[in-house]
Amino acid sequence: MTQPMKSSGARQRIEARFQNIRPQSIASPSTLLLARLKGVIKTGKGWRARCPHCGGKGHKLSIAEGDNGTLLVTCFSCHDTAAVLAAVGLQVGDLFARKDLRSMSPAERSQLRQAALLPRWRAATEVLSHEATVLLIAANRMGDGEALDDAELTRLRVAALKVFDAAEVLTHGR
């Protein structure tokens, strides 16, 4: 059963609602966090502040910003980043910079998509390398005239399936 199309008026109301949310959602992680902390001091590599979780007057909370805007938050007393963030109403996901895809050029969006694929490609090449070793060992044994038992043949079949899966990841299913 197909769903009815939303009227353009309903669509405009939905877009307007999300437009009101967007400015806050694309605030930098440092802006979001630092505004909620007490006793913030700028240091050479970032900031120090009072820990909202374990308290005290010392500046035990260390905040550093990476090249991509991601924050590293560490309390040298409680060592509980999730609790520190919860104490100021944030979550670990708030430490990562968000991208507003609408303001990006097509080239920037393409670059972002490619960067997101790199971990999958890296994992696929690691699988290919490992399974190639399994296949090489079996081929050498068979070349020496040794017969493979049922467990070894099953492992070769698994290796072949893993190679096919890795190829699927690397070619995007094309």
53-65 confidence digits (pLDDT tens): 988 788 999 999 8
Quick one: DSSP state of residue 148?
Answer: P
In a domain, 16, yes or no: no
Q: What residue numbers bound the domain in which 146 lies?
A: 106-172
93-138 confidence digits (pLDDT tens): 888 877 677 777 888 888 877 777 788 888 999 999 999 999 999 9
137 and 159 housed in the same domain: yes
Give the residue among 52, 119, 58, 123 at the shortest CA–CA distance from 87. 52
Using alpha carbons only, what angle is made at residue 126 by residues 124 and 127, rounded to the nearest 5 degrees? 65
Question: How many domains, the chain?
Answer: 2
In a domain, 100, yes or no: no
pTM greater than the 0.95 cutoff: no
Q: Which residue has the higher pLDDT, 15 or 93?
A: 93
81 and 115 housed in the same domain: no
In a domain, 13, yes or no: no
Q: How many CB atoms lie within 10 A of CB 141?
A: 13
For residues 37 and 88, the answer to whether their CB atoms sit within 8 Å is yes
Residue after which a domain boundary falls, among 70, 95, 120: 95
